[in-house]
Amino acid sequence: MKKYTLMLLLCLLCLTTSYAQKKKPETNTRVNTTVVTPSQNTATNTASKKDTVDYDLRVYGNAVSLGDFYTAITAIHYKYAKDTNIRWLDTLSRLYFTGNMIRQAVVTAEVVLQKQPNNISMLELVAMSYSGLGDSKSALVKYEKLFELTQKPYYQYQCAVEEFNLGRVGECEARIKAIQSNPAAEKDKININPGQGTAPEQVAIKAAALNLLGVMQMKLGKNEDAKKSFEASLKLAPEFSLAKGNLEALNKPKDKK
């Protein structure tokens, strides 16, 4: 009986050893070949998809929709730090301008213009900015470039305005005469702001130029010439309040001392 029990134990031991020897290589094979489990693959793919989201542009879009230009500007700065495409500076300049950060708008736009000297929108933004800052000389340079590129009477009129501001009488007068001979100046219109608290008026560019000429003539003491210029302006735009007011002021009797 003891002998039978001993033999049974030896058989069980051999079976256990044999099973363990067969299982060990299989386990090693599984460890060596299975580097990433299916669940890990899914997580990696999800993370990869998340990484493709452009969070800078998402923040920019959200900020613009809320009118938060400061956050939008920050988002574009981050975007430009990662991608130095010039279009992000173009966008940044527009954001600065919209947010009334005029000097920053000018600096940024000028960088764009160094690489894209014929960029119409950037030229116009810089011209308007310089004009708003009272730098008529710099504004004139940009408006002259805009007129050279487009031949639009709108930019020709803006040149005349800056020349008037600079006291360049001869140049301003010559510019206005050129506008008068331009057929497009009677069709194309411009928004003129009569003053604070009043809505802008849309008038023909030629009418605006004639009113400007009248104002310059008044300053030079050429009242008869000024009167003719205001009347010619009102003939083109009868409801032009600036020309009306200037003509009334000119016709108003002066108090005798």
Q: 54-134 and 151-249: same fold?
A: yes
Distance CA 144, CA 125 (A): 14
The dihedrals phi and psi of 226, each to the nearest 5 degrees, come to -65, -40
- Residue 26: what pLDDT? 43
- With a CB cutoff of 8 Å and minimum separation 6, the contacts of 77 are 92
CATH for 151-249? 1.25.40.10
CATH architecture of 54-134: Alpha Horseshoe (1.25)
Percent of the chain with pLDDT over 90: 73
Domain ranges of the chain: 54-134, 151-249
State whether the Cα torsion 209-210-215-221 is positive or negative: positive
- pLDDT, tens digit (0-9, with 9 covering 90-100), for 145-182: 999 999 999 999 999 999 999 999 999 999 999 999 99
User: Residue 183: helix, strand or coil by DSSP?
Assistant: coil
pLDDT < 70 regions, the chain: 1-51, 254-257
Distance CA 136, CA 162 (A): 5
Answer for the pair 182, 211: CB distance below 8 angstroms, yes or no: no
- pLDDT, tens digit (0-9, with 9 covering 90-100), for 227-257: 999 999 999 999 999 999 999 999 887 655 4
Burial of 257 per CB tally in 10 Å (0-12, 13-18, 19+): exposed
